[in-house]
Structure 1
Amino acid sequence: MLQPTTGRRGVLAAGTALAASGIIRPPEARAARALDIVLESEVVILDPHVITAAITRTFATHVFDTLFAMDDRGQIRPQMVEAWESSADRLTWRFRLRDGLKWHDGAPVTATDCVLSLNRWAPRDPLGRMLQAATASLEATDPRTFVLVLKEPFPLLLQVLGKPNAPLPVMMPERLARVPNTQRITEIVGSGPFRFRADLWRPGNLMVLERFADYVPRAEPPDFLAGGKRVKIDQLNLRVMPDQLTGANALMQGEIHYMQYLPFDLLPRLERARGVQLLGLGGLHQFQGNFRLNHAVAPFDNPAIRRVLWKLADQTAVLTAIGVPERFRAPQCPSFWMCDAPYSSTAGAAGARVDIEGARAELRAAGYRGEPVIAMEVAGSISQTASMVLVQNMKLAGFNVDQQVMDWGTVLARRVRRDGWSMFSVYSNGTDMFSPLTHFYVASTCADFPGWSCDDRIPALLQSFARAEDEAARARVAAEIQTIAYDLTPAVMWGQFTIPAGYRTSLTNLIRSSYPMFWEVELAG
């Protein structure tokens, strides 16, 4: 049967106040209704198929589009697809695109574009590779229809096509989809609600996204990444600020309309600032902090030594030290798959309680010989604060810790080596961590991925999770995987929290999400 869908509105209506000024807006970027925003960082890599960076994903959700998309309840809804049907044995799937879809260069979106886009994206994505392994053929049968034939049923098919995790399965025109996925595309042409203005791009200063006049939104109300995306502004100006303090001051002065991540130490002042509203959400819209461990070298090549850290990771102390207000954090969360999320679980977590004396005894019993634990820390980051809290407890338990401070680029460069480091602290979007199939440190089990954690049972269970017929069955498998993960200890969670965004109260209809989204937004004044 052809399956229709409905969405649910997830927008925030705010009051009105003095519109933000255009003090920092250069002449070439002025528009009748332009929004000035500051995101987590500058958008540098524009090809959404080749990188997992969240900032590239944010760019992609505005400029490109996907076949399906996730709503606020975690359900998958059609986006570019108008209707679809499957055979009785669930091996043959036919998808029909919505009428009127266009690329930003004016050409119509075709089924061939979509087939080639999926073929380019899939090898770069863990879920895409699983789908590719289950695929017998994928072909366009007419300009708006393509057919996917599977070798075996793949119950997560729609979830994979509509996943919100980077790299996103976005659609591209044929000429771009034919660019090898080992290379980055240099021409940015999507079919999303905004188009990229390459002529106005000023790296280090400004990126301009312009309303795409020929975009045809879905009829349903907007609902997270799903539903209608009606653009009510003319232009989106992505500003680059030298630091968070400068951005926060610009927000309070009305020089920008939105800032994605506010500094915790300025929250009291921002909450008192006239014309500023904070946005902080829970559940999947929060972050999960992790200490990633290197299983390839001592001391964390010893699983008993790794497990000691479960008694030393004090989430409450970490989040307090970072300065996260209680309303923006979850209590001590034992779930690899996030708390207040579809697969939340306490399985395997019985021993994950702060107990320094118990940790000291376990460390002695594990045969620890004083090998240095090299902790890579990103200077000035909340991840460094999290590391400092854990390291203090580790030293009390008897660990010999060598804290090495560096920038994030150096961490990325060093973590690909199997030696020279023991752990690093990082935090990730909940939408990336709520499922075993996308959790960075579980989905990569027994793969060539920095940390090199391996338990042969997990890859097989990930396949079982993907083949499970319903959510209840997937939840059972997720709990089984988590029990093994606690024993394996690929990473240790240091907290679940929100970094609130801030926006001017002159904005209305801002969608409530940890993903910045600027369709539906209106600007008063």
Structure 2
Amino acid sequence: MRHRDQPCPPVYPCTAAIARAARPTWADAARARLGAALLALLPLAAAAPATAETTLRAVMHSPLRLTDPHATTAYITAWHGYMIYDTLIAVDGDNALQPQMLEKWDVSEDGKTYTLTLREGLAWHDGQPVTAEDCVASIRRWAAIDAMGQKLLKFTERIEAVDARRLRFVMTQPTDLALRALAKPSTSAPFILPRRVAEQPPGKPITDMTGSGPFKLVEFKPGVKTVYVKNAAYVPRPEPASGLAGGKRVKVDRVEWLVMPDHLTTANALTSGEIDLVEQFPYDLLPMLEGDAGIKVEPATSSPAYSMYRFNFLHPPFNDRKIRQAAMYAIGQEDVMKALVGNPKYWRTCASLWGCGTPMQADAGQDMVVPSNIDKARALLKEAGYDNTPVLMLHATDVASLSPQPVVMAQALRKAGFNVTLAAMDWQSVASRRASRALPADGGWSILNTNMYTADLADPVRTPMAAADGDKAWYGWPDFPQVEALRDQYALSSDPAEQKRIAAELQRVAIDEGLYVPLGQSTPLRAYSSKLSGLPLAPAPVFWGVDKTP
């Protein structure tokens, strides 16, 4: 999963002992810079009283730079959201909807009106009470730009605050879509913000990071570190934590998200005890952890990761369906997964747009998206009259779970006859450039790749990439009315059998159009010190319930 910038030859000979013997520790440089100043402070340090503060230090999959949880689908921003904010409803470990900030919800006899009542005593980090007005403003802000939120608004007559603790949805027809939408997990979740913050447009950066969640943000240095402390005033629900629901009981005083220069440095910092957890440990460095009783390795979340790519439908060559299909035939999932993960224990091919192993799994079009068929791709390019229009692929080189895919994809596309250029940059630059609708030569793009957890894919209305409503759609901006009509049907249905039928038809139509293209499914691994216990297994990496022994 890592960009192959290893200290060892291609036939990996390193052992944990060799790596540890050669490594500099992450803190060495900082200690050296302190020098005489640190020595001068030693008497004071010796005289200072001992503190019982417990600090958990983690390295996440990407540095946190954008903190607005409504403005991006970037996972690191969602993970930040779960630290300082909360949601009205959450999914538990069995994917059932549970009240979170809510005490309860009531449904009218006609199934159109939902009245939601907040728990007593909810407070913002500044001590002010959470109100229904805060919730209404937050929902409106989130729903304006989220794919599932937009569907919710389409079938909502009005959202209003009834009093300080109650808000009401009035739907245009009977549907439980409001509850399903407010429980949306993982990326772009409907976090509740103070009204004064929620009334800012999503394009305006948030500077006020007051939340009501289990942690408070106390330090934010983009690209360096982010520091959270326990919200001592937070009142968790009485139930045990389960998935993203239940009692969020914080057992450490402080959580630091540190940014490190490379993957080997991060691995060394973990084995030396300088950090406690690596959110996504690189598969190719797993041999460093073999035999180390002080380190545990397990799945990072309860949902597998799903790799995919997206065409830009606005510009040539991928405004032509036949050329999109040529690319889809050219790229093979096995080649991508071998480069990304390697060990077959941790990956599988998957044709379903809704993830494999999910209730809506569908397989239409698997002959187009799973194996590589270069001959078929060449034939389609010839039929389409491809004129060597350049294909510009965005290539995030600094995120291990994104870096290998474009390299393998570009090789396959070139074999089929495409004129491909890789635009190498860091992930934050990709996240910015993918929003550009300019021609590829003028700062736009042709193909981008990304990863989602299957928790974000299991519902075709929830899935950001499934929206096909042109300017409102996720990056790439497809415009397919048939897809939107099917998503409307799914949104209004509460019958699992009917939903599965609609999802299967959506799969057929969407694969044929190349709405987004699966590359395979994998299991990201987190590695952490045995001093940690109680790490939740949830759709997101969360830090409540975690204990750390000295």
TM-score, structure 1 normalization: 0.88
Task: Give CA-to-partner distance per residue, 1:151-194, whole Å, 9 cap, x none.
Answer: 22233211101111432212223333333444233222211111
Flag the 1:335–1:281 CA change in 2: closer, same or farther, 3 A: farther
Is the contact made by 2:148 and 2:464 (CA closer than 8 Å) also made in structure 1? no
Alpha carbons of 1:133 and 1:237: their partners in 2 closer, same or farther (altered >3 Å)? same
Q: Is the CA contact 2:378–2:417 (under 8 Å) kept in the aligned structure 1?
A: yes
Partners of 1:120 and 1:194 in 2: how far apart?
Answer: 23
| Aligned pair partner of 1:358 in 376, 379, 393 | 376
Which letter does structure 2 place at the counterpart of 1:35? L
What amino acid maps onto 1:337 in structure 2? W
Give the Å deviation of 1:95.
1.3
Match for residue 345 of structure 1?
362
Question: C-alpha offsets along residues 278-309 of structure 1, whole Å, 9 cap, x if unaligned?
Answer: 12268x62222222212233322221121123
Is the 8 Å Cα contact of residues 348 and 484 (structure 1) preserved in structure 2? Answer: no
| Corresponding residue to 2:209 among 182, 188, 191 | 188
| Deviation of 1:401 (Å) | 2.6
2:110 maps to 89
CA 1:480–1:419 in 2, change beyond 3 Å: closer, same or farther? same
Contact 1:35 1:237 in 2 (8 A): yes
Of 475, 478, 483, the residue aligned with 1:453 is: 478
| Residue 496 to residue 139, structure 1, CA distance change in 2 (3 Å) | same
Q: 2:390 & 2:224 partners in 1: Cα distance? A: 42
SS state at 2:233 partner: coil
Equivalences for 1:30-109 in 2 at 5 Å? 32-109=53-130
Match of 1:332 among 349, 353, 368: 349
Q: Measured at CA, do residues 48 and 295 of structure 1 come closer, stay the same or move farther in structure 2, by a change above 3 Å?
A: closer
Alpha-carbon distance, 1:382 to partner: 4.9
- The residue number in structure 1 matching 2:544 is 519
What SS does the corresponding residue of 1:136 show, helix, strand or coil? Answer: strand
Deviation of the 1:350 alpha carbon: 4.2
**Contact 1:31 / 1:235 at 8 angstroms: preserved in 2?**
no
Counterpart of 1:53, as a letter, is A
| C-alpha distance in structure 2 between counterparts of 1:403 and 1:235, whole Å | 40
Tell me what 1:125 maps to. 146
Partner of 1:399: 418
Aligned CA distance change for structure 1 residues 277 and 422 (closer, same or farther; 3 Å): same
Letter in 2 for 1:253: S
For the 8 Å contact 1:289–1:495, the answer to whether it is kept is: yes
The yes-or-no answer on 1:137 pairing with 2:155 is no
Q: Alpha-carbon deviations, 1:412-442, whole Å to 9, x = none? A: 4544234223223322333333332233332
Q: Which amino acid aligns with 2:404?
A: T
Q: Which moved more, 1:399-408 or 1:465-474?
A: 399-408
Distance in 2 of aligned mates of 1:175 and 1:398? 54
Partner of 1:12: none
Alpha carbons of structure 1 residues 414 and 475: separation in structure 2 relative to 1, 3 Å: same
Aligned twin of 1:479? 504
Match of 2:8 in 1: none
In structure 2, what is the Cα distance between the partners aligned to 1:179 and 1:413? 20
1:152 lines up with 2:187 in the alignment = no
Secondary structure at the counterpart of residue 376 of structure 1:
strand
Quote the Cα distance in structure 1 between the aligned partners of 2:471 and 2:222. 35
CA distance in 2, matches of 1:518, 1:209: 10
Q: Deviations over 1:100-158 (max 9, x none)?
A: 22221222222222222223322132222222232233333333222222222233211
Contact 2:146 2:464 in 1 (8 A): no
Q: Report if the CA contact (8 A) 1:309-1:492 is conserved.
A: no
Q: Is 1:162–2:179 an aligned residue pair?
A: no
Query: Which shows bigger deviation, 331-340 or 26-35?
Result: 26-35
Asked if 2 retains the 8 angstrom alpha-carbon contact of 1:281 and 1:328, the reply is no
Q: Is the 8 A contact 1:131 1:154 kept in 2?
A: no
SS at 2:269's partner residue? Answer: helix
Instruction: Report the more deviating stretch, 216-225 or 345-354.
Output: 345-354
CA distance, structure 2, for counterparts of residue 204 and residue 406 of structure 1:
15
Distance in 1 (CA, whole Å) between partners of 2:475 and 2:221 is 34
Question: How far 1:332 moved relative to its partner?
Answer: 1.5
SS in 1 for 2:150: helix
Specify the SS of the correspondent of 2:313. coil
Uncovered stretches (5+) of structure 1, i.e. residues with no partner: 1-20
The residue type equivalent to 1:104 in the other structure is: H
Q: Any idea what SS the aligned residue of 1:245 has? A: helix
Q: Deviation digits for residues 337-391 of structure 1, max 9, x if unmatched?
A: 1111221111233444332233333333333333333333233655342222222
**Contact 2:406 2:449 (8 Å CA) reproduced:** yes
Whole-angstrom CA distance in 1 between matches of 2:162 and 2:548: 44
User: Which string of whole-angstrom CA distances, capped at 9 and with x for unpartnered residues, describes residues 462-487 of structure 1?
Assistant: 11110012222222111111100111
Tell me the equivalent position of 1:11. Answer: none
Residues 315/281 of structure 1: CA separation in 2 closer, same or farther (3 Å cut): farther
> 1:371 and 2:405 equivalent?
no
What is the aligned residue count?
501
State the partner residue of 2:17. none
Q: Secondary structure at the match of 2:162?
A: strand
Distance of 1:172 and 1:399 partners within structure 2: 46
What is the deviation of 1:97? 1.3
SS at 2:69's partner residue? coil
Kept after mapping to 1: 8 A contact 2:90/2:98:
yes
Instruction: Tell whether the 8 Å contact from 1:66 to 1:171 is kept in structure 2 after alignment.
Output: yes
Q: What is the aligned counterpart of 2:330 among 298, 312, 320?
A: 312
**Mean alpha-carbon deviation: is it higher for 365-374 or for 475-484?**
365-374
Larger mean CA deviation between 481-490 and 44-53 belongs to 44-53
Change (3 A) 1:309 1:204: closer
Q: 303-312 or 476-485, which moves further after superposition?
A: 303-312
Change (3 A) 1:36 1:404: closer
Question: Is the CA contact 2:331–2:372 (under 8 Å) kept in the aligned structure 1?
Answer: yes
What residue identity is the alignment partner of 1:471? P
Following superposition, the deviation at residue 247 of structure 1 comes to: 1.6
- Which residues of structure 2 form unaligned runs of 5+? 1-25, 35-44
**Aligned-residue RMSD, C-alpha:** 2.7
Give 1:250 deviation, angstroms. Answer: 0.8
Distance 1:203 1:453 in 2: 33
Q: Deviations over 1:213-242 (max 9, x none)?
A: 221211222111111111111221222222
Which is further off, 460-469 or 163-172?
Answer: 163-172
Is the Cα–Cα contact under 8 Å of residues 221 and 228 in structure 1 kept in the other structure? yes
The CA distance in 2 between the partners of 1:97 and 1:269, in whole Å, is 48
Question: Which residue is 1:489 aligned to?
Answer: 514
Q: Which moved more, 1:346-355 or 1:32-41?
A: 346-355
Amino acid at match of 1:333: C
> Any conservation in 2 of the 1:66–1:162 contact (CA below 8 Å)?
yes
Offset of 1:517 from its aligned partner? 1.1
Structure 2 CA distance for partners of 1:139 and 1:396, relative to 1, 3 Å: closer
Identity %: 36
DSSP 3-state at the match of 1:278: strand
1:242-283: CA deviation from partner (whole Å, max 9, x where unpaired): 22222211111111111112122211212333411112268x
